[in-house]
Amino acid sequence: MSQGLPDIRSLSQAELTQALVEMGEKPFRTKQVSEWLWTHAAGSFEEMTSLGKGLRSKLEESFTLRRIDQVEAQHSKDGTVKCAFQIDGDAHRVVEGVLIPTTKRLTACISSQVGCSLACKFCATGRLKLLKNLTAGEMYDQVQMLNTLAHQQYDKGLSNIVYMGMGEPLLNYRNVIESVERITGTPGLAMSPKRITVSTAGIAKAIKRLGDDEVKFNLALSLHAANDAKRNHIMAINETNNLAVLAEALRHFVDKTGTRPTFEFIVFKDFNDGLEDARELAQFCKHIPCKINLIEYNPIDDGEFQQTTPERLDDFVALLEDRNLIVNVRRSRGKDIDAACGQLANKNAAGEEAPRKEVSPA
């Protein structure tokens, strides 16, 4: 890989066209090159066999073509596969993506950052330092590689994509939006935006921006408490993005997009699993068209929380349903390989954390 050259996948279509014209090529070459980059997921310029050798040489001299590397795959007894992806060939920069099979869906859970800056108490990723915002290409690569894995293992492609892996997507806003465009576009993977969900811990300004941009994908909010004091305790982001501020941003999002958000709510034993907690959640949902996913807690090393009891969960669900709210109880998958919600922390098959060093985020 040539050092110091720009990554060709960082160029816009207009920039790519300009570069090709400056090489003496016709503008129609843009479509050919883009198809190799974003539909066929070429790993090198030599793979672009429909292009002449002269153009391939020019591209090689002018650009790099950087793709992530899959360095490990762990298989759960329930069929879930957790993949470790290395960024820029750096063993200290590793993210995880998960292929989650169910009877009706094949879902790719992908990461948006190396590490995370939010430090939510219940999340293993939050214990890592933020090392880097992933590029659009690096997020696209996770989807493309997990889609290939889905075809290999299940003889069919992905049905859904969720940005619920490592990192806070809305703190990497521009690259996340661009990655969705690459995944849904042509040239690209031509997947429906309605099959994509971006999950946020609650960045109010960015939620409003999603509305202003009239995005077509789905939005999930990691809520976990409908009480500011409790949410402050487990999610420091709530101190600057409290529930009232979030509610205003969410209403703006719904007004602009017509899409109802999903509230993700992990139910912790003796913390947020009581009937009063359910009433607070119902009240918060009262003025925001929404769906609710109740999630069983997946313990992390030395964590302070425990999973609630089935009886308390049933009572919680019953109260919400009595308020005519749409409620789904989501069972975790891949727990035996630390691939479930909140468990992604770059652990290898031996249960050891991948090597890493602290650097300034990109």
Q: Taking the CA of residue 41 as centre, how many other CA atoms within 13 Å lie in the half-sphere pointing to its CB?
A: 18
Give the span between the Cα atoms of 334 and 101, in whole angstroms: 10
Average pLDDT of the chain, as a whole number: 90
Q: For 76-80, 186-190, 308-312, which range has the lowest pLDDT when averaged over its residues?
A: 76-80
pLDDT of residue 25: 96
Nearest Cα to Cα of residue 334 among 154, 74, 155, 150: 74
Residue 32 lies in a domain: yes
On the question of pLDDT at 61 being above 60, the answer is yes
On the question of pLDDT at 1 being above 70, the answer is no
| Same structural domain, 50 and 102 | no
**Tell me: the pLDDT tens digits for 271-306?**
999 999 999 999 999 999 999 999 988 776 666 889
**Tell me: the pLDDT tens digits for 75-126?**
989 899 999 999 988 888 999 999 999 999 999 999 999 999 998 888 877 7
Query: Is 341 annotated as catalytic?
Result: yes
Domain final residue pick, 46, 62, 78: 62
Give 146's pLDDT tier (boundaries 50, 70, 90): very high
Domain final residue pick, 62, 83, 106: 62
Q: Which of 96, 168, 178, 264 is catalytic?
A: 96
On the question of pLDDT at 327 being above 80, the answer is yes
pLDDT of residue 355: 41
- For residue 142, give the CATH number of its domain: 3.20.20.70
On the question of pLDDT at 332 being above 90, the answer is no
Residue 229 lies in a domain: yes
Give the span between the Cα atoms of 80 and 154, in whole angstroms: 12
| Same structural domain, 231 and 280 | yes
Computed from CA positions of residues 335, 340, 342, 348, in that sequence, does the dihedral angle turn out positive or negative? positive
Residue 14 lies in a domain: yes
pLDDT of residue 362: 32
CB 348 within 8 A of CB 72: yes
Question: Mean pLDDT across the stretch 38-63?
Answer: 97
pLDDT of residue 4: 86
| Same structural domain, 13 and 134 | no
pLDDT of residue 299: 76
* Exposure string over 28-51, b if 16+ CB within 10 A, otherwise e: ebbebbbbbbbbebbeebeebeeb
On the question of pLDDT at 230 being above 50, the answer is yes
Q: Is 56 exposed, middle or buried (0-12, 13-18, 19+ CB in 10 A)?
A: middle
Give the span between the Cα atoms of 280 and 60, in whole angstroms: 58
Q: Which of 123, 285, 290, 341 is catalytic?
A: 341
What torsion do the CA atoms of 195, 198, 204, 205 make, to the nearest 10 degrees? -90
Query: Is 15 annotated as catalytic?
Result: no
Number of domains in the chain: 2
Which range of residues forms the domain containing residue 24?
8-62
- For residue 51, give the CATH number of its domain: 1.10.150.530
For residue 152 the two structure tokens come to 């290999």
pLDDT of residue 154: 94
Give 333's pLDDT tier (boundaries 50, 70, 90): low
Residue 347 lies in a domain: no
Q: Which helix (H) or strand (E) holds 282?
A: helix 275-285
CB 256 within 8 A of CB 214: yes
